[in-house]
Amino acid sequence: MTTDPMFRNVSAQPENYLRRDDFSLPDSKRTYTHQFNTIYTQRVKQLKSRIFKMATAKWKDETINDIKVTYVSKILDVKNLTPCYIIGTVFADYKYKTNVLKEVSTNMYGVPESASSLKAKKDLQDEIKDIDVLRSSAYSDPASDKIMIEDESGRILLDGELLDSTVLVTGVMVGLLGMENN
C-alpha cells in the first residue's frame, strides 16, 4: 500500500466562463423551429405514397353495396354512407395506457396533497390493483378502447368486427376501405 496522494487533472477554466446555469437558454436565443414534426411529416409523405399505390391497385375495382369505391385524400372529406378508402396514421386510445400526467397530478412527485388529491390517490391505488392484473396480459380493455385513424385534417373513430381480431398500435400508417355510417 502506498501513501502517495492521488492527483486529479483539472481542466483549465476559460477566462470568459461565468458561473451561470448552463442548461437555461436565454429568451433571445430560444428557437422552436427545430422540432421533430419535419421527420414525422417526411415519414408520412413517403409512406402515404407507397400505401396509396398499393391500396389503389387492390381496391380500384372494388364495390360496396353496388357503389364503386373512391379514394378520399383527406379524412374530413369522407362522406356518410359513401364507400371509399383513406390513408392515415392509427391512433389507439387505450383506457389502461400509461399516463404520466395522471401520475403527476395524483402526487407522485411531492406536490402538497389536498382532500381531493387524497381521494384521487386512493382511487388510483384501487385502480392500480385492477390494472396490474390486466397489464399482465395487455393494456387493452375492448369495452372502452378507441381506435382512430388520423391525418393532417382530422380523425375518424374506427368501428367494426375486424378490429376485434386485428392489433393496431399508435403511429402505424394504414390504408382502410369502408364507409362512414353515422
Q: What's the pLDDT tens digit per position in 87-146?
A: 999 998 887 777 777 766 665 555 455 566 667 667 766 666 665 555 555 666 777 888
* 172 lies in the same domain as 87: yes
Q: What is the CATH number of the domain that holds 50?
A: 2.40.50.430
* 128 lies in the same domain as 65: no
Q: Which domain holds residue 53?
A: 35-95+141-182
* 132 lies in the same domain as 160: no
DSSP E strands in 46-145: the ranges are 63-64, 67-68, 70-71, 84-93
Q: What predicted TM-score, i.e. pTM, was given to this entire model?
A: 0.61
* 107 lies in the same domain as 164: no
Residue 100 CB neighbours (<10 A): 8
* 146 lies in the same domain as 175: yes
Would 20 be classed as within a structural domain? no
